Amino acid sequence: MTLKVKELIDKMIKDEDVKYFEYNEFSSIKEIDRGAFGKVSRAYLASNKLEVALKTFVDENSSIEEEKLNEFVKELNLLRKVCHDANINNFLGITKMELTGNYFMVLEYANEGNLREYLKNKFNSLKWKDKIRMALDITCGLKRLHSEEIVHRDLHSKNILVNNGKLLIADLGLSKKLAEISSNSKANKLGIPQYIDPRCHKITKFKKDKKSDIYGLGVLLWEISSGFPPFPNYQPDQLNLLSYHISTNRLREDPVEGTPLKYLQLYQRCWNDDPNVRPDIEEVYEILSQLSQLETDESLELQYNIKNYNKQERLQPNNSDVNNSEVNYDSKLTDLSIESDISLGPKNLLIVGLTSCGKSALCNVLTETDIFRESESSVSETSNFQRKSFEVNGTKYYAVDTVGFKHTNLSAKEILDKIKEGIQSIPEGISQILYVIGKPFTAGEIRMFELFEEIIFESGILEFVTIVRTKFGNFKIPNERKKEHNMLFEENEKIAKIVNSCKDVIYVDNPPVNIHVYDDHDRDDIENDEKYHKKLRARSRTVLLDHLEKVCLEKYLELKTCDELYSRIVNHIEDNSSNKEVELDQELEKLKIQ
């Protein structure tokens, strides 16, 4: 059963879900903007002695499926709870122009227009302190929405209003939500492509979520830093092409000269293609709050400086070299001067190793979760990197689990690309690489070390590597650890050289804690095993954290160094004269059957 919008509005007014104003209560009505969902007019509401904005959304002849009505009214009630927030545009009620049958939302008027207009008029006078405050205003409004489980769905610079210098999130997606659920509406569109979560272009019937809002927020943070909207060179008839570049080729705008490092890293994480890499709104608020405490513009701008930035160098609409656009973007992302003082940021742990070596179990132990998929066979459960934060005694860590070196469905180059994506999710740099082995080094691993020995040692990366020997049941017995350690040095000259150059070797045991019960007669024994395994994992965690507390104190391994290492390895294996890629793939194939 469907309802006319008129029936819906009448029901909402009767149930006091929304306040209704007669249209003749408004005077001095003047159109000030027009968008995809109708026009916006400025008016004076005499009864409230208030300037207001009237925004059209649907007409009375639109229809709504009855089952969707409750969802809409529930959201409307939530919006009423947050509309008085200091950074949210106040939603006052609804009115209707009888002549046209169009309904209008009645909103508090913002006297300095929308963010896009404000930046156009005031950008040259804004200091970085002002820009951080503006970013924080939007974040505070979105934080309030997300605390009530409200997803905005349509964040962009025309939906951010400015009133006496304060930024307000406007509309809250209400008009778009009503348009989307109207059965005869033609307005059920994605929105403005520059701000839209790339998943909308990839997944059929994708439902926007909080991480979609975070993506749009990232684009807004960049817009505040630059003073102009993203990708202005694309014309309306080229927006499908732009959507393709954004979703398929990960096209993003270039950083702007003078952008504070932490601010830049923040918006790059927000607009990351992988929603799991994007921070939640609480973390965005925390980082911006820290930046807002810096007293001078100089203290902000000294953190980061990009030279020779040119607006015209961004990818142009007629650029057919799609692959180059992606490469250029990636190189700019990683070729940054990342700060080396690790005391200023989180401790970032990159976990690497062969499939089934215990990487994911190690991540679960460190983070005290079960979100990392633990493999009990040689088949990889990790096809993309996973990232999770955890805190220990006030210190924040990030654990990044990467694709295993012997992933059954990926080539050597594809594995390296996947690992690189994991590295890019921790833009501050790497505190420690945990190279996980579940048994003594295999012949395949030794051969790989031999292939890249020169590159590995010249990079200096081993200074940041800890070898973690998992599945070592005797890890609590000093003599057993010593015996195993001696075996590593006796195993192979190359291995001895690498082990000696690493930070250390530590020994743990992380046995499974979710054991399947196939026979009820075994349930008690299995439950006892699980309790014992949990104790072992807890002890292993203590060993790991004690070690990390000692080694994660000095500096980050910079992304620039990782990028150079990646490039050298890729160039090495793609050298047709030496046929290294074939050789490396052959070694990986050997690993898969070991």
Q: Give the separation between CA 227 and CA 229, rounded to whole angstroms.
A: 7
Q: Which CATH number goes with the domain that contains 158?
A: 1.10.510.10
Residues 379 and 473 in one domain: yes
Q: 529 lies in a domain? A: yes
Residues 587 and 526 in one domain: yes
Burial of 392 (0-12, 13-18, 19+ CB in 10 A): middle
Which pLDDT score is estimated for 366? 94
Q: Give the separation between CA 350 and CA 530, rounded to whole angstroms.
A: 28
Burial of 545 (0-12, 13-18, 19+ CB in 10 A): middle
Q: 101 lies in a domain? A: yes
Beta partners for residue 114, in sequence order: 161
Which pLDDT score is estimated for 495? 83
Q: 25 lies in a domain? A: yes
Residues 103 and 128 in one domain: no
Q: Which CATH number goes with the domain that contains 375?
A: 3.40.50.300
Residues 421 and 438 in one domain: yes
Q: 185 lies in a domain? A: no
Q: 530 lies in a domain? A: yes
Q: Which of 331, 350, 378 is the last residue of a domain?
A: 331
Q: 177 lies in a domain? A: no
The one-letter amino acid at 159? N
Residues 401 and 270 in one domain: no
Residues 237 and 385 in one domain: no
Residues 94 and 137 in one domain: no
Which pLDDT score is estimated for 216? 96
Residues 78 and 38 in one domain: yes
Q: Give the separation between CA 258 and CA 124, rounded to whole angstroms.
A: 14
Q: 154 lies in a domain? A: yes
Q: Which CATH number goes with the domain that contains 47?
A: 3.30.200.20
Q: Which of 307, 331, 355 is the last residue of a domain?
A: 331
Q: 181 lies in a domain? A: no
- Contacts with 216 (C-beta within 8 Å, 6 or more apart), sequence order: 152, 154, 155, 156, 195, 196, 197
Residues 432 and 370 in one domain: yes
Residues 282 and 379 in one domain: no
Residues 319 and 447 in one domain: no
Residues 65 and 123 in one domain: no
Q: Domain limits at 159? A: 115-169+190-331
Burial of 501 (0-12, 13-18, 19+ CB in 10 A): middle
Q: Which of 78, 108, 138 is the last residue of a domain?
A: 108
Nearest to 152 by CA among 126, 167, 170: 170
Low-confidence ranges of the chain (pLDDT < 70): 1-5, 35-38, 57-76, 78-79, 173-190, 295-344, 375-383, 406-409, 514-526, 554, 572-594
Q: Give the separation between CA 557 and CA 433, rounded to whole angstroms.
A: 9
How many domains are there within the chain? 3
Q: Please report the DSSP string for 119-184 in residue order.
A: HHHHGGG--HHHHHHHHHHHHHHHHHHHHTT-------TTSEEEETTEEEE-STTHHHHHHHHBTT
CA dihedral in degrees (42, 39, 36, 172; nearest 10)?
40
Which pLDDT score is estimated for 487? 84
Query: In this structure, what DSSP letter does residue 313 have?
Result: G
Q: Give the separation between CA 326 and CA 252, rounded to whole angstroms.
A: 9
